[in-house]
């Protein structure tokens, strides 16, 4: 993994604030039973995913290359615009679960609009931080420990 500069992370954070979305859902899910038992069981699971969607393929591919996590998909939108033309092809970078947590930690110091949702993901994976006085984490301490260029 290459080292990610603060400028790149700041740019991606701004892009995510404007064009991105973060989905957090806890609920019962049907899962296969383990250890050879037939049928299904219900699991109280947390589903976490984030994405950036836009029509500029080059920017989405750059985000994927810099973050080195997630996937890029192409989505052709059917139908016509109000003026009768075709919709542009949409490109999406998407990641889930621990990869999402990694990206949330990177973007946290720079995010503004999506900051509360980023904090929910971080709190889910780092419950011990919630035990600190008033749930306050020093920004300098966090930045010193952030994963710029380190393996997950």
The pLDDT, as a whole number, for residue 150 is 47
Which residue, among 152, 53, 62, has the nearest Cα to 106 in the 3D structure? 152
pLDDT at 94 over 90: yes
User: Which structure tokens are listed for 116?
Assistant: 């509360």
pLDDT at 133 over 70: no
The pLDDT, as a whole number, for residue 128 is 66
| Confidence at 152, pLDDT banded by 50, 70, 90 | very low
The pLDDT, as a whole number, for residue 46 is 81
pLDDT in tens, 44-91: 778 899 999 999 999 999 999 999 999 999 999 888 888 988 899 999
Within the chain, residue ranges assigned H as helices are: 6-19, 57-67, 97-107, 115-125, 139-145
pLDDT at 117 over 60: yes
Phi then psi for 107, rounded to 5 degrees? Answer: -80, -20
């Amino acid at each position: 993994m290459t080292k990610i500069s603060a400028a790149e992370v700041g740019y991606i954070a701004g892009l995510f604030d404007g064009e991105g979305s973060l989905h957090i859902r806890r609920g019962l899910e049907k899962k296969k039973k383990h250890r050879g038992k037939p049928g299904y069981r219900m699991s109280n699971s947390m589903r976490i995913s984030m994405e950036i969607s836009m029509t500029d393929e080059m920017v989405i591919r750059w985000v994927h290359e810099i973050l080195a996590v997630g996937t890029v998909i192409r989505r052709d939108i059917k139908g016509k615009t109000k003026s009768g033309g075709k919709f542009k092809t949409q490109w999406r970078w998407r990641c889930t679960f621990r990869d999402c947590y990694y990206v949330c930690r990177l973007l946290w110091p720079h995010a503004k609009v999506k900051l509360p949702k980023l904090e929910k993901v971080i709190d889910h994976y780092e419950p011990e931080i919630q035990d600190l006085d008033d749930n306050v984490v020093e920004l300098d301490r966090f930045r010193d420990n952030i994963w710029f260029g380190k393996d997950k």
